[in-house]
Amino acid sequence: MSTKVLKRYFSNNLTIQEIFETFGRNVYQGLKGTLKDKPKVYNKRNFTNVFQYFNGPIEMEVKSMQPEDIRNLDHQWPDLMFISRDTYTNGQQYMEAFQNLQIVDNEKNRQAFYLQVDKILMRRLPLAAEGCVPPFFKHIFMHRQTGLNRVHMDIEPDVIESRLPGIGQSCECYNIWILLNKRGYGYNPCAFLYPAMIPDWREIEERRAVLQLRAPFTEEMQDPWIWWGEMNVGDMVVWKTRKGFHSGCTNDTFDREDRRYSMDFRRIYGPKGFGKKHAQLFSKLYHDHSFQHP
């Protein structure tokens, strides 16, 4: 590597491991004849991304976040959590269920996996005693390989708030996003709007366009976007579905392939007997397809 290239790498505050990873990938791409333009730096830190807002593209910075630095204003029903598999007390059982579901996606394996996920999450949700599948947007995306590169949320907050008794008080609906394969994560990483850095959520509501978000009202305003560059297979990001704006990212420091190997699904957490108590309501909503993601 030339002194000039090394200097550029060190100026990005990369670790020795990241420098060798970058060098190795660039040599490999060079041998394949796919290395075009200047060598890419594969970083795990801050970067800029062009976000596709409802009213057009806007470039913004994405901050790298450490799991322990996440802050939540609501401690009973946190808005956003990054949970490393290193912290799972049921880690072995979780990973077995995790692998089984990827091999055979059937209801039996889903329920076994949900059980392990619930054990992890209910330790972090003080008011939760059970989890269940929501009656709307009940899909689980297995081995999802395409990234949705626009700022969006998965379910309209009004749908959740008008149909789930006790939402935000005795129960809450969460998105659970899990990395399946380390290979490819840098292609299309997922960034999340960080609710704790938003002074007034009513301003976000004013900008909300159904499932999408309009850009900030002035060019000087920056939305607080974060990501986790150190995410490993089996780690999960969990966010309150009603506040969960997120987006896939592409950037010169990442490969341009639009792929990411992940799964995502939703769970409702609430008091013991919540699902049974509202079984009739859930059954009615379950067959109303107007609540599904377009």
Q: pLDDT digits over 192-224, tens only?
A: 999 999 999 999 999 998 889 999 988 788 999
Residue 189's pLDDT band (boundaries 50, 70, 90)?
confident
> Looking at residue 86, what is its pLDDT?
93
Percent of the chain with pLDDT over 70: 78
CB 262 within 8 A of CB 180: yes
**240 three-state secondary structure:** strand
Identity of the residue numbered 33: G
> Looking at residue 281, what is its pLDDT?
87
Identity of the residue numbered 8: R
Average pLDDT over residues 159-178: 93
CA angle 109, 112, 117 (to 5 degrees): 120
> Looking at residue 63, what is its pLDDT?
93
> Looking at residue 3, what is its pLDDT?
46
For residue 150, pLDDT over 60 is answered with yes
> Looking at residue 137, what is its pLDDT?
80
Contacts of 152 (CB under 8 A, 6+ apart): 211, 212, 213, 245, 246, 247
Question: Could you tell me the end-to-end alpha-carbon distance of the chain, in angstroms, rounded to an integer?
Answer: 49
Distance CA 83, CA 237 (A): 6
> Looking at residue 21, what is its pLDDT?
62
Q: Tell me, what DSSP letter sits at residue 216?
A: P
Buried b (16+ CB within 10 A) or exposed e, 171-191: bbbbbbbbbbeeebbbbbbbb
Return the number of other C-beta atoms located less than 10 Å from residue 292's C-beta: 12
For residue 225, pLDDT over 90 is answered with yes
Distance CA 163, CA 165 (A): 6
Q: 153: buried, middle or exposed (CB in 10 Å: 19+, 13-18, 0-12)?
A: buried
For residue 171, pLDDT over 70 is answered with yes
Q: Give the pLDDT confidence of 34-75 residue by residue, as tens digits.
A: 444 444 445 568 888 999 999 999 999 999 988 888 999 899
Stronger pLDDT, 36 or 121, i.e. the higher one: 121
